[in-house]
Amino acid sequence: MDLILRGGRVIDPSQGLDGIRDVGFANGKVAAIATRLDSPSATVRDVSGLIVSPGLIDLHTHVYWGGTSLGIDAEEFCRTSGVTTAVDTGSAGPGNFMGFRKHVIERSEVRILAYLHVSHAGIYGFSNTVMVGESEDIRLMDPVTAAEVADRNRDVIVGIKVRVGRHASGDQGVAPLTIALQVAEETGLPLMAHIDEPPPSYEEVIAMLRPGDVLTHAFRPFPNSPATAQGSVKPAVLAARKRGVLFDIGHGMGSFAFKTARAMLANGFAPDTISSDVHALCINGPAFDQVTTMSKFLCLGMSLPDVIKASTENAAFALKRPELGSLKPGSVGDATILSVDEGKFDYVDVVGEHLEGRQRITSHGVVIGGRWWHPA
């Protein structure tokens, strides 16, 4: 073995595992998990008192640094947030994806996967000074090239992305979603749909999504909240989950409210996946990073194993990449070292509500491809 993590509390929902174990890595993969592992050739790192989880997957990020104004540096972000797989959701479209691949994805030690935007240039008009919804102009929808680019880059493209809502698609309603679904059908890939304020309505969007498709910004505030004013879950939302639609957080700068989350959790409707939607306009708040987003759900009452599951096993399921999000022997050799700190911590959502939490999840480093990848 090349590396052994010694004596941590291993929480791996994919195996139903929660206990003190050693985790060994060899040849870039998980080699073994046992009460005690010894190997004369291995570097041993003592992680006793800390938590070892599968490498965290942030299902919604924007990491086309330098290619779009909302892009952040994936490696810098992942060093502090415990993320080993950053999934970029539509920063690039078919017109500029190869630049994203050559200059960012292929140079990154952190794994970057991507949902390809159906818009020709992706999310190109998103900054502090310019805010143009790329789906407002139907002429920018590029389904033919999107299908071609997705087919040529299946090693890193995991799905198709579209943004609809008053800010993203103006008066186009669900027309961009209709086009994106055709690309998803043509390529056999899942779709991730962004939703902001109406039009279209939350119900209109989820009615069009297929099993395995992802609705991101799923716990957004009013308007287009999944909860009613009385605090129940809207029937269309329950029907969509039963049909197999996946609900992702995608916190971001405008898409997560404590009020919504409390209502959904009180009704037993936890998110399928927890993601940060980290980008240049929310990395300094209110989203900050993946572990902060996870911490909010811990403080709202989700159990630690369920919070980890929503950032590992469930995210891998959404990506159709079962080799990720697990510490089963033979899986990709990624792990995240975490602690849960006790104290008083201030959390804020996108509408300015503050929550005083008693716990905070902190990242202490990651293993990527079987190698310790320490915080800067």
d(C-alpha 139, C-alpha 12), whole Å: 46
Paired tokens of 63: 């990491």
The values of phi and psi at residue 261, to 5°, are -60, -40
The values of phi and psi at residue 37, to 5°, are -120, 135
CA dihedral 226, 227, 233, 234 (to 10 degrees): -60
Paired tokens of 2: 């090349």
Q: What angle do CA 51, 339, 84 make, to 5 degrees?
A: 70
Closest CA to 159 of 205, 106, 211, 213: 213
Q: Mark out the alpha helices in 26-155 (DSSP H runs).
A: 74-81, 97-100, 143-152
Please state whether 272 falls in left (phi above 0), alpha (psi between -120 and 50) or beta.
Answer: alpha
> CB 40: neighbour CB atoms within 10 A?
5
What is the SS3 assignment for 376?
coil
DSSP 171-224: GGTTHHHHHHHHHHHHHT--EEEEE-SSSSPHHHHHHHPPTT-EEESTTPPSSS
* Binding site feature residues for Zn(2+): 60, 62, 161, 194, 217, 277
* Binding site feature residues: 60, 62, 161, 194, 217, 277
The residues facing 9 across adjacent strands are 20, 51
CA dihedral (157, 158, 160, 164) positive or negative: negative
